[in-house]
Amino acid sequence: MYISSRSILAILLLPCVALAQQANVNLDYNPQKNTDNLTAYSAPLNSPEVHDDQTVTFRLRAPNAKEVQLTGVAIQTALGGGRGGRAFTKGENGVWTLTVGPLKPDMYIYYFNVDGVQIADPSNSIAGFTAMPPYSQLVVHGNGPAYYDAKNVPHGNVTRHVYHSDVTKGERELYVYTPPGYDRTKTYPVLYLVGGSGDLPSNWVYDGRVNFMMDNLLAEGKAIPMVIAIPNNQVLHRNHPQHTELTFKLFEEEMRKHVVPLVEKEYSVRKDPKGRALSGLSMGGRHTQFVGFNSLDLFANFGVLSAGDANSEEVIKDFLNDPNVNDKVEYLFVGQGTGEASGFIGARCIALHEALVNHKIEHEYYVGGAGAHDWATWRHLLYYRFLPNLWRTE
């Protein structure tokens, strides 16, 4: 099954024109700026409203509520962290209001908590739909399009494939990005890019904006043209009691039996390990280690984003002790956000980095961006470090 990128993006990306908040006409960089004082279609009121000074006003009509708070890891990190949510103030007609910021221009996931119940913002049409509970997306604009926005540059295509898996015993999906001017007479390197716990393949398009980032990097001459395949790395119920024991072998089988063969049949891509890369965030970063490092016959390039293992010396000992690993691995990147470096996930990343150093395995370790364990970090890591460095040394 094939669906063009135009159809996918019309469904997944819901920004709008600058003339009215959430008009959903163009893929504008400032979809929540309100210049005409028009309310989003079917919404009870304007929320969120992003001002040019990067402050944001949230609103919720809930006349019978006793308490309303703004919550969510990404928005809390951007506001300086701390426990608990940010309290709204109840005004006339039962409308609760909260203004925060200024915030750094970026995209932030947030929720409302109403009397202990977590909900998405009912007035925000830019809503997430993944394996996680529904959430809302805040887009704080700067003075122009950001590195992850749609710009007036040549654009690649995103195609959705649906296939049957003998591994999971059902129908599954796979998204594939092809660069602008994709030419089947040429052969392209291919990046297999996966998400974290609760993510679906569409998250790397909707939240990660990987297609727009790649378009912009190519237009700027900062990356090598490549195909990006985004499979579903949810192969077992995330709350299964044996998830850790079973998921890695299942995902490896899915990659070998279905994903890689499908991509190599449908697209003109390299079929050698150095022409393939595997990268993922959080749980996908662990898949990158425990599947990718175990599959050096398939992959020679790796991006581990916000992931690692406190016991790396043991769990990837075969990889660490391979005497030829530096000849087999073309590029290995380990990265995390500045806002997560001091927590338990940061400690896992550091443990992986130190294990690689101890065994003299060549790699790049990077901590950067203003985010924590959220999409602000993963967009930053891909755009500023991982994508530009892939296949640059060949």
Q: What's the CATH number where 345 sits?
A: 3.40.50.1820
Residue where a domain stops, chosen among 74, 108, 140: 140
Residues 103 and 227 in one domain: no
Instruction: Report the distance separating Cα 206 and Cα 74, nearest Å.
Output: 16
- Give the model's pLDDT for residue 336: 94
Over residues 226-241, mean pLDDT: 91
pLDDT per position as a tens digit, 291-316: 999 999 999 999 999 998 888 888 89
Point out the least confidently predicted range of 174-183, 334-343, 351-360.
Answer: 334-343
Average pLDDT over residues 153-162: 98
Q: How many domains does the chain have?
A: 2
Q: Which residues of 302-318 are buried (b: 16+ CB within 10 A; e: fewer)?
A: bbbbbbbbeebbebbee
Q: What is the pLDDT of residue 394?
A: 58
- Structural domain of residue 40, as residue ranges? 5-140
Instruction: Report the predicted TM-score, pTM, of the whole model to 2 decimal places.
Output: 0.91
- Tell me: cis bond preceding 102? Omega within 30 of 0 counts: yes
CB of 381 closer than 8 Å to CB of 367: no
149 in a domain, yes or no? Answer: no
Residue 377 has pLDDT above 80, yes or no: yes
Work out the pLDDT band at 1, boundaries 50, 70, 90: very low
Asked whether 206 and 146 are in contact (CB, 8 A), the reply is no
Name the pLDDT band for 10 (thresholds 50, 70, 90): very low
Query: Measuring CA to CA, how many Å separate 154 from each of 180, 193, 211?
Result: 6, 22, 11
What percentage of the chain has pLDDT greater than the value 70?
Answer: 93
Residue 349 falls inside a structural domain: yes
Would you state the pLDDT for residue 315?
86
User: Amino acid identity, residue 377?
Assistant: T
